[in-house]
Structure 1
Amino acid sequence: MMLVLAIVEIFSVILQRIFCDSTLKKKKIRRYTDYLVWGGYFAVFNGVTYVLTYLGDGTSNIWLNILLFVCIFFVTIRILYTDSVRTLMATTIFMYMSGMCAELLVYYGKEFLAWTDDAEVTLLCTVLSKIVWYLIIKFTSLIIKLNRKAELNLQDWLEVFIVPVCSIWILISVFITGTLENYFWGFIVVFMILLINVFTYYLYDKAKENMEKQMREEILKNQCEYYIRQNRESKEWWEELRKLRHNMKQHYILENTYLEKEDYEALKRYCSENLKFLDKKDFISNSGNLYIDSVVNYKADMAEKAGIKVTANTEVPQDAEMNAEDISICLGNLLDNAIEAVKELTEDRVIRLWITTDGNNIAISIKNRYKNALHKSGGRYLTSKEDDRMHGIGLSIVRQIVDQYAGEMEIREEDNVFDVMILMYDFLT
């Protein structure tokens, strides 16, 4: 019995860590430090509770337990997370209250089923209360993500309910068949069910993380293409301009010869050829900043091939340093979405881009018209591309980057005009 209870308490600590990691801002610490702090919390709280129970009459004082939990848990998350004291205290209170609610739900469920108070029922109710607590924690985490405007879909909600609810059903079925009366098999059942609940959470979370990582890698690959193309075209342009300047004397001599011969047609053709060269590299973005210009000019060229005009006003310092991956993801995804939308139009096929900076802050605005009604699922805009395996993930990652810089992202839809505005603080270095 003691071994099973120890497993259950370890599961409780894992639940608390899951919730805190998904809702609070973690400090930059080594992984083993994180494990050490949570392990210390487990040892201290359970050790102190056991000693107080042992020194007493075999029962524990509920108010003393509450005080111990609040103090020890608060100190633990204070060490590991950067949120305000108010937020950490609210998290501590929620953690205790949700655990208490889970125990009450299981208690009234036991009374409703008229189960007798014996060792097996006590063990079952203890395990069930932790799984119900797990369900409450995961559900609350999704609600918090929704309030933060995170992109959630049906799979996220199903993942919350399916495994915990099925676990509760299995445990009750096992209890009814009498399997829990056998200590060894009862321990195996409880251990496996708790293990499944933890691993399904981490595996699902890891799968989403890998999908986003894959998309980031694709964007980085495209980013390299932006830079290679921008550097190649700039090099070719400057090489031709160098040759033009080097041969300037010869150009004037030849033009003067045409004038002396009054061969105005030949002079006109010669001047036209030189003007074509000077005009052929009229980039959309000419801020001089490689990060911005390479992405904008590359996407503008893609849009031009599709018969779409891009107007850009990019006011960015030439020497401004920024995270190349983040700016490529933001601009690349937003411009891709705009191009896909404008492709469906027969008129007003224009994308308007505006980028400006103020100190270390950057503001981005992209406007374009769209034809058909935009579709959403759980707050996520669905793509119109044939490859829909990453519905809305691009926009979701953009929002994550904006949040990373404590910025703001606003999307407006009015009169078939899609307007995305982004503001990121301390983006430039």
Structure 2
Amino acid sequence: MELSTYEVVYLIANIFGTYIVYKFMHVFFETKEANHKIELLSYVGYYIFIALVYLTINIPVITMICNILAYLGLSFNYNAGIKRRLLSILMIYLILICVEVSVALLTGYFNYSLLTVNNYSSGYGLVLAQTISYLVVRILNNYKNIRKGETIPLANWIAIILIPISSLYIILTLFQATGLSWERILFGVILILLVNFTTFYLYDVISASMVDKMDKILLGQQNKYYRKQFELMESSLKTTKAMRHDLRNHLSVIYALVEKGERDTALKHLSKMTDIYDDTRQYAYTENIDIDSILNFKIQAAEQQNIKIALDLSIPEKMYIPSFDLAIILGNLLDNAIEAVAELEKERQIKIKIYYDKGRLIILVENPFQGERLKEGNRYLTTNKEPSQHGLGLENIKSVLQKYDGSMVITQQGMVFSASLMLFV
């Protein structure tokens, strides 16, 4: 099949167009965990697929459907929920089609039909559309919060996604309407584009507010952890002072009892001293104030629900890991474990092992559970009826682990759930 000049220009320009789609994807999605070889191959496949659709079919409605499906496929290179995928690909497609339609109108193309072959043939218009699209994606790249993956409320998401869906419908309707001048259609398309730019901005603002909200939740959690730790330290200090104050008197009594041969009475006195001064509750005391604070706060919460905590700790006083990150990791892991064990009638125990070895921090949390742990893909879901009050999620733990080249392995053997984490610190 011999290609026309315009088709040759299209194939060349679409190489740049594929790169623009790639840049758009990087605006909306976090790309750190993407497999770059697979990502490259997927974009090559996208280019070939779209080129074949254009050369063999070239009917606008089919091209539109193929592009949207292809964008959806490309989005699976990146970690994201289905809500964010749908919103992202719709906004990407709408922005690109608004640019293409505007350029088509400016270059004299007015006879547009969804169901007949597209006979647009301006090579200059094609190059101009790609250039404008690239400038747009460069501008949108300044918005940093969207790609962080914060989950916005469902009501907000529905309100936002209705805008690109409605905009796409309006654009297609404008082109099918009769009696409208190309200037009016162009003005309408530009307004729709501006509305969606505003939507993009609002989406970024909402994402930023969710980040801020989560930060405030974390700071609140940290304050609770440290408050509990200070209470324990104050209690320990008071007990120590009391022991030092009365120790001489107690020793005198014990000495006198032993001297008289009243061994049993002396042992009873010692036992009373132990009951008064020895706090037999199992609390964390490693001199690492951050980890101690978090563990002691969670241990107290577990004890209030008659849940036992088995601790095995071997960590230094200082580690190069912010308390903010530790709060996300330990706080959420222990919230999950306490929530699961609280539903049991027996075997109400959580095992926690944390140790530091040659620059690696290892965290193991193991707990029994009942019922079935729900999964969405490879992701475990909370069973809490109010997820917003349930820590920050295993996905947020993974985000923190990336900063330390860390990893997390979750296993389920029988009715025992365990999470194993490793961080390089």
TM-score, structure 1 as length reference: 0.66
Query: C-alpha distance in 2, partners of 1:175/1:99?
Result: 27
| Aligned-residue RMSD, C-alpha | 3.8
Q: Distance in 2 between matches of 1:24 and 1:181?
A: 43
| Alpha-carbon separation, structure 2, partners of 1:94 and 1:194 | 28
Q: For structure 1, which segment, 330-339 or 218-227, has the greater mean C-alpha deviation from structure 2 after superposition?
A: 218-227
SS of corresponding position for 2:393: helix
| Distance in 1 of aligned mates of 2:174 and 2:285 | 70
CA drift at 1:337: 0.5
Q: What residue number does 1:276 align with? A: 275
**CA displacement at 1:17 relative to structure 2:** 4.0
1:132-281 equivalence runs, <5 A: 136-137=70-71, 139-141=73-75, 143-146=76-79, 152=81, 154-159=82-87, 160-161=89-90, 166-178=166-178, 181-183=181-183, 185-201=184-200, 203-204=202-203, 206-208=205-207, 210-259=209-258, 267=266, 270-280=269-279
Distance 2:180 2:190 in 1: 12
Cα distance between partner residues in 2 of 1:336 and 1:228: 18
CA contact (8 A) 1:381 1:391 kept: no
Amino acid at match of 1:386: K
Match of 1:20 in 2: 26
Match of 1:292 in 2: 291
CA distance in 1 between counterparts of 2:291 and 2:182 reads 67
Alpha carbons of structure 1 residues 209 and 422: separation in structure 2 relative to 1, 3 Å:
farther
CA distance in 2, matches of 1:132, 1:233: 63
3-state SS, counterpart of residue 144 of structure 1: coil
- Residue 373 of structure 1: CA displacement? 0.9
Once the two structures are superposed, residues 27-77 of structure 1 have per-residue CA deviations (whole angstroms, 9 ceiling, x without a partner) of xxxxxxxxxxxxxxxxxxxxxxxxxxxxxxxxxxxxxxxxxxxxxxxxxxx
Check 1:112–1:95 CA distance in 2 against 1; reply closer, same or farther (3 A cut).
Answer: closer
CA contact (8 A) 2:373 2:381 kept: yes
Contact conserved, 2:286 with 2:317, CA < 8 A, in 1?
yes
Q: 1: CA distance between counterparts of 2:211 and 2:371?
A: 28
Aligned to 2:396: 397
What's the CA shift for 1:418?
A: 0.9
Amino acid of the structure 2 residue aligned with 1:18: F
Residues of 2 paired with 1:299 and 1:368: CA distance? Answer: 14
How far off is 1:336 after superposition? 0.6
Offset, 1:227: 1.1
For residues 364 and 357 of structure 1, the distance between their equivalents in structure 2, rounded to whole angstroms, comes to: 9
Distance verdict in 2 for CA 1:248–1:279, change over 3 Å: closer
**CA distance in structure 2 between the partners assigned to 1:419 and 1:376 by the alignment:** 15
Supply the distance in 2 between the matched residues of 1:252 and 1:423 (Cα, whole angstroms). 48
Kept in 2, the 8 Å contact 1:365–1:422? The answer is yes
Confirm or deny: 8 A CA contact 2:342 2:348 kept in the other structure.
yes
**Matched-pair contact (CA < 8 Å) for 1:365–1:421:** yes
* Distance across 1 between alignment mates of 2:400 and 2:190: 39
| Separation of aligned partners in 1, 2:190 and 2:43 | 23
Corresponding residue of 1:331: 330
Give the fraction of aligned pairs with identical amino acids, expressed as a percent: 26
2:153 aligns with: none
Alpha carbons of 1:213 and 1:145: their partners in 2 closer, same or farther (altered >3 Å)? Answer: farther
- Name which of structure 1's ranges 251-260 and 99-108 shifts more when overlaid on structure 2: 99-108
Provide the rounded CA distance (Å) in 2 between the counterparts of 1:219 and 1:359: 29
**Is the CA contact 1:135–1:164 (under 8 Å) kept in the aligned structure 2?**
no
Stretches of structure 1 that go unaligned for 5 or more consecutive residues are 1-10, 26-82, 114-124
Report the CA distance shift for 1:408/1:260 in structure 2 as closer, same or farther (over 3 A): closer
Distance across 1 between alignment mates of 2:316 and 2:68: 50
**Contact 1:355-1:362 at 8 Å conserved across structures:** yes
Partner of 1:346: 345
Inter-partner Cα distance in structure 2 for 1:403 and 1:394: 15
Residue 286 (structure 1) shift: 2.6
Alignment of 1:70-149 (within 5 A): 87=36, 98=46, 102=50, 105=53, 110-111=58-59, 136-137=70-71, 139-141=73-75, 143-146=76-79
Q: Is the 8 A contact 1:382 1:391 kept in 2?
A: no
Q: Structure 2 length as normaliser, TM-score?
A: 0.66
Amino acid paired to 2:375? K
3-state SS in 2 of match to 1:345 = coil
Q: Displacement of 1:319 after TM fit?
A: 2.7
Q: Following the alignment from structure 1 to structure 2, what is the Cα–Cα distance between the partners of residues 268 and 399?
A: 53
Q: Is the 8 A contact 2:406 2:423 kept in 1?
A: yes
**Structure 1 residue 91 displacement after superposition:** 6.5
Per-residue Cα deviation, 1:100-150 (whole angstroms, up to 9, x for no partner): 75576467665478xxxxxxxxxxx9xx87x97677446523x1234xxx5
Contact kept? 1:382, 1:392, Cα under 8 Å: no
Residue identity matched to 1:288:
E
Matched, 1:317 2:296: no
Higher helix share: 1
2:422 corresponds to 1:420: no
Contact 1:342 1:349 in 2 (8 A): yes
Partners of 1:265 and 1:349 lie apart in 2 by 37
Is 341-350 or 245-254 further displaced after alignment? 245-254
Letter in 1 for 2:243: L
Q: CA deviation at 1:360?
A: 2.4
**Residues 368 and 418 of structure 1 are in contact (CA less than 8 Å); yes or no, is this contact kept in structure 2?**
yes
Give the drift of 1:215.
Answer: 3.0
- Offset at residue 419 of structure 1 (A): 1.1
The answer to whether the 8 A contact 2:18-2:43 is kept is no
Aligned length: 336
Q: What residue number does 1:118 align with?
A: none
1:231 CA displacement: 2.0
